[in-house]
């Protein structure tokens, strides 16, 4: 696969492209990373240095790739945190250019807006833009449960919810444009304590997988999840297989990070878990 990935970049740590590129390469895929910011570290530290790149400069990089005549070989576009409305427009333009060159290419959007604990933490102009312009352009959408609720107007999804409510919201999102929805950080109201789940929904069905909940918060885990799911779905053609492989790798990366005592994802140390996922978590069909 060849993947155009438009995301943030940090020199220290692993979020955005700094979380997505290496795992995709470790799986054997070519990645064309385009940076939207280049910071010293992620903003979760409360202080950072480096530039928020001008959207016009981001567009120039995309146009330079297009000038090489390679967009017809691009299989997927991937985006995460969008930063500003102007960057979102650049991403949507890149998606349109890739799909014009290769109609079979897909666009995966991780609609980064917030989470149940922090609420929305992005520019207030971003969530409506994602809902109204970005979601309809996506083929694969990877919201967490809170973001799924925001996109569909179901605020109750910010807390533990029934599987029926989660699937109904996923169907609403699919009606907006995406053919596949991967819901992360699922908190099902009748799930066993100390577990967390992911649900994949397509027109052919819905699947759920459950893992133990690790006592940690890891910046970048959503970025690697979106990247791996995109790659495995393209490679296998099976949402269930993509879900199984993605969850296995992400869990082992997080476990290695927890055991290391480090704050940043141990992507390099856990790279074998990315290359050869230990598919030990049962994927169960919901419908």
pLDDT in tens, 63-80: 999 999 999 999 999 999
Confidence of residue 119 (pLDDT cuts 50, 70, 90): low
Q: How many other CB atoms sit within 10 Å of the CB of residue 93?
A: 15
Best CA proximity match to 139, nearest among 99, 93, 97: 99
User: What percent of the chain lies above the pLDDT cut of 90?
Assistant: 90
Asked if the model's pLDDT at residue 95 lies above 80, the reply is: yes
Q: What angle do CA 211, 216, 218 make, to 5 degrees?
A: 95
pLDDT at 127: 83
pLDDT at 220: 95
Best CA proximity match to 227, nearest among 66, 22, 38: 22
Dihedral of CA atoms 58, 62, 65, 71 in degrees, nearest 10, equals 160
Q: What residue ranges do the domains of the chain occupy? A: 2-285
Strand pairing report for 30-39 and 2-10: parallel
CA distances from 249 to 70, 102, 106, 147, 193 (A): 30, 30, 22, 23, 22
Fold of 2-285: 3.40.1190
What whole-number distance in Å separates Cα of residue 281 and Cα of residue 48?
A: 37
Query: Using the 8-state DSSP alphabet, how is residue 81 labeled?
Result: -
Asked if the model's pLDDT at residue 118 lies above 70, the reply is: no
Asked if the model's pLDDT at residue 231 lies above 70, the reply is: yes
pLDDT at 14: 97
> Is the CB of residue 211 less than 8 Å from the CB of residue 190?
no
Helix (H, G, I), strand (E, B) or coil at 201: strand
Dihedral of CA atoms 124, 129, 135, 136 in degrees, nearest 10, equals 160
- Report the pLDDT averaged over residues 203-229: 96
Helix (H, G, I), strand (E, B) or coil at 168: helix
- Report the pLDDT averaged over residues 5-15: 96
Q: Average per-residue pLDDT in the chain?
A: 95
């Amino acid at each position: 696969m060849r993947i155009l990935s438009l995301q943030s970049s940090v020199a220290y740590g692993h979020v955005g492209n700094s979380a997505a590129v290496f795992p995709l390469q470790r799986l054997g895929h070519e990645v064309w990373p385009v940076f939207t910011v280049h910071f010293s570290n992620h903003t979760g530290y409360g202080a950072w240095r480096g530039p928020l790149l001008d959207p016009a400069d981001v567009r120039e990089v995309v146009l330079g790739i297009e000038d090489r005549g390679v967009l017809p070989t691009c299989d997927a576009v991937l985006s995460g945190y969008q930063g500003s409305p102007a960057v979102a427009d650049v991403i949507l333009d890149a998606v349109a250019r890739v799909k014009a060159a290769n109609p079979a290419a897909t666009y995966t959007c991780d609609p980064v807006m917030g989470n149940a604990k922090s609420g929305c933490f992005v520019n207030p102009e971003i969530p409506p833009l994602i809902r109204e312009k970005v979601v309809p352009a996506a083929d694969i959408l990877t919201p967490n449960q809170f973001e799924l609720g925001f996109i569909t107007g179901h605020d109750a999804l910010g807390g533990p919810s029934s599987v029926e409510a989660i699937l109904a919201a996923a169907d609403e999102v699919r009606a907006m444009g995406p053919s596949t929805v991967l819901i992360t950080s699922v908190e099902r109201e009748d799930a066993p304590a100390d577990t967390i789940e992911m649900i994949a929904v397509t027109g052919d069905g819905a699947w759920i997988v459950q893992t133990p909940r690790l006592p940690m918060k890891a910046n970048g885990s959503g970025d690697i999840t979106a990247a791996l799911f995109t790659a495995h779905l393209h490679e296998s053609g099976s949402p269930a297989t993509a879900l199984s492989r993605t969850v296995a790798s992400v869990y082992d990366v997080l476990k290695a990070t927890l055991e290391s005592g480090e704050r940043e994802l141990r992507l390099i140390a856990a790279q074998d878990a990315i290359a050869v996922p230990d598919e030990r978590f049962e994927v169960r069909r919901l419908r």
